[in-house]
Amino acid sequence: MPLGTLDGTPPPFFRQGPSALSKLTFFSALALFLMVADARFELAKPLRVAVAAVLYPVQWLVLRPVAWAQGGGQYFESLKASQASEEAAHRQLDLQSQRANQVEQLTLENTRLRQLLGLRDRVTTPAQAAQVLYDAADPYTRKVVIDRGLLDGVVAGSPVLDETGVLGQVTRVYPMVSEVTLVTDRDQAIPVLNTRTGARGVAFGDPALRASGLELRFMTANTDVQTGDLLTTSGVDGVYPPGLPVARVAKVDRRVDSAFAHINCVPLALVSGVDHVMVLKPVATQIAPRPAVEAARGPVRKGPRK
């Protein structure tokens, strides 16, 4: 082939077209034109709307896992917050319940203390307030321990009252505490007076174990005793001041084969669960002793005159 017949143009594979600078200039001008046209005439708005409408399902599908993850996190956070608030509400409810119980207990205690103070104003015998510490450990007796003893001037035999009546009698005295035998103890006896009839008697603790009543003994079958009669201290024993409420007759059983009536009574004092009591001085300690001269002389004997 002769050399003059050769084509000097580059093959199609090596054709480069417009230069890079020309392309940059063209597309920069086109972009500037589109920006100005869109800003002035909103030419690209329909295009954006159409593209957004076409791409919305794709965006929705792509964002679903993200939304589910965020929803799950919010669910667990809200669940944790709800549990925490529920626990706080339960604690607040328990606290309010405790406060309500304390208020009821304090109200009851305040009422009893007011009644006890009112009883103290009516009693002329010297008295002092005391608090019940605990019940005695012996299960076969009905005794309590109070927080007053020898150092407070308590002596054996001192009557003990609550706001409603006679509770018992001090039987043992220690330096700091004292032991009180309740009126319902089977070994306890107290002289009483029927306020309706004026009949005197002796009320004993119920001999039954764990009982909380009294028994009016040695009353003849024809004695005028009725259910509901009020029994008060008679004062003949030199221990209890007269007129203190003791018990109320609950049942009268007159048997044909017995000369005495079987009379059951209910104590007016709160023998179970009492908190505050009043300790009186025994009546015998308030009686002035006989003069020494008269006691030395002895009784005067009168003989017949000659």
pLDDT in tens, 228-282: 999 999 988 888 888 889 999 999 998 888 888 989 999 999 888 888 898 988 8
Q: Does residue 205 have a pLDDT over 80?
A: yes
* Domain spanning 127-286, CATH architecture: Beta Barrel (2.40)
Q: What is the pLDDT of residue 138?
A: 79
Query: Any idea how long the chain is?
Result: 306
- Phi/psi for 280 (5° steps) reads -100, 160
- 63 vs 231: CA distance, rounded Å: 90
Mean pLDDT to the nearest integer, 113-135: 74
Label residue 87 by pLDDT band (50, 70, 90). Answer: confident
Q: What is the pLDDT of residue 229?
A: 94
Label residue 175 by pLDDT band (50, 70, 90). Answer: very high
Q: Strand, coil or helix: what is 134?
A: strand
Label residue 204 by pLDDT band (50, 70, 90). Answer: very high
> Higher model confidence: residue 59 or residue 156?
156
Q: Does residue 128 have a pLDDT over 80?
A: yes
- Phi/psi for 229 (5° steps) reads -65, 140
> Higher model confidence: residue 305 or residue 111?
111
- 216 vs 209: CA distance, rounded Å: 17
Label residue 306 by pLDDT band (50, 70, 90). Answer: very low
> Higher model confidence: residue 23 or residue 13?
23
pLDDT in tens, 88-97: 888 888 888 7
Q: What is the pLDDT of residue 6?
A: 57
* Count of H-run helices and E-run strands, the chain: 3, 12
Give burial (CB, 10 Å; 0-12/13-18/19+) of 100. Answer: exposed
181 pairs with which residues across the strands? 143, 169
- 119 vs 189: CA distance, rounded Å: 23
Contact 270, 162 (CB under 8 A): yes
AA identity, residue 280: L
> Higher model confidence: residue 181 or residue 114?
181
What distance, in Å, lies between the first and last C-alpha atoms of the chain?
Answer: 205
> Higher model confidence: residue 57 or residue 38?
57
- 234 vs 241: CA distance, rounded Å: 8
Q: Does residue 195 have a pLDDT over 80?
A: yes
Mean pLDDT to the nearest integer, 65-73: 83
Q: pLDDT averaged over the chain?
A: 81
- 298 vs 293: CA distance, rounded Å: 9
Q: What is the pLDDT of residue 241?
A: 87
Q: Which of 58-62, 73-77, 104-108, 146-150 has the lowest mean pLDDT?
A: 104-108
Q: pTM value?
A: 0.58
Q: What is the pLDDT of residue 139?
A: 78
